Amino acid sequence: MNSGSPGAIIDACTLETFAVTGRLDLLKSHYGVRARWTETIRYEVRRGLLEEPRNQAVLDATWLGEPLDVDFDPESLRRIEQIRRGLGGTKRESMKHLGEAEVIYYLETNAPDWLFVSDDRTAVDFARNRHLNAIDTRQVLTDCYISGEIGCPAAFDLLREMRAAGRGVRVPRNHQLVCPS
């Protein structure tokens, strides 16, 4: 990874959203070798593939590299669990928000200048409240538009397609909020 460019950890929900629409290429081209994931995110994606076969493209995610090494000593696990509970995780659903909690913990302890990309609004807000860089798919598509990786209204149309596919993305009223002039 280029040490001059901060990394970007991409959440399972965002990877699946881009996979559903066949546009993982945008994430790959925009973030390249900066894109990473954790073991839990990789697990969540693979589990989601069993439920949603159209996400098969995520299996070829070698561009994300090996999962980041998140500390799993007792103190780290306690802090990750605190974050997970803060995101709405419960004892009964031990995996709920675990990937997001790991990312937030990793960013706070190892890479505070990196970016967290997620469509889990609670996780994005939680990360931002902790002064971490966090964005959603809408912002990814705006950034891709600005860098010339996708045109207008294609970026806006892709967001609408994602929403129509049942993905939890924010879609603004008009395309100018995704494709600024």
What local confidence, expressed as pLDDT, does residue 57 receive? 57
Does residue 103 contact residue 9 with C-beta atoms inside 8 Å? Answer: yes
* Phi, psi torsion values for 8, nearest 5 degrees: -140, 120
Query: Domain map of the chain by residue range?
Result: 8-136
What local confidence, expressed as pLDDT, does residue 63 receive? 86
Q: For residue range 38-75, list pLDDT tens digits in order.
A: 999 998 888 776 566 555 555 567 789 899 989 889 99
Residue 7 CA to residue 10 CA, distance in Å, equals: 10
Record: fold of 8-136: Rossmann fold (3.40.50)
Ranges under pLDDT 50 in the chain? 1-3
What local confidence, expressed as pLDDT, does residue 38 receive? 94
What local confidence, expressed as pLDDT, does residue 29 receive? 93
What local confidence, expressed as pLDDT, does residue 2 receive? 41
Cα torsion at 46, 51, 53, 54 (round to 10°)? -100
Supply the DSSP string of the chain, one letter for each residue: --TTS--EEE-HHHHHHHHHTT-HHHHHHHHGGGEE-BHHHHHHHHHHHHH-GGGGGGG--GGG-SPB----SHHHHHHHHHHHHHTT--SSSTTTTHHHHHHHHHHHHT-TTSEEE-S-HHHHHHHHHTT-EEE-HHHHHHHHHHTTSS-TTHHHHHHHHHHHTT------SSGGGTS--
Q: For residue range 121-133, list pLDDT tens digits in order.
A: 999 999 999 999 9
pTM of the model: 0.91
What local confidence, expressed as pLDDT, does residue 178 receive? 93
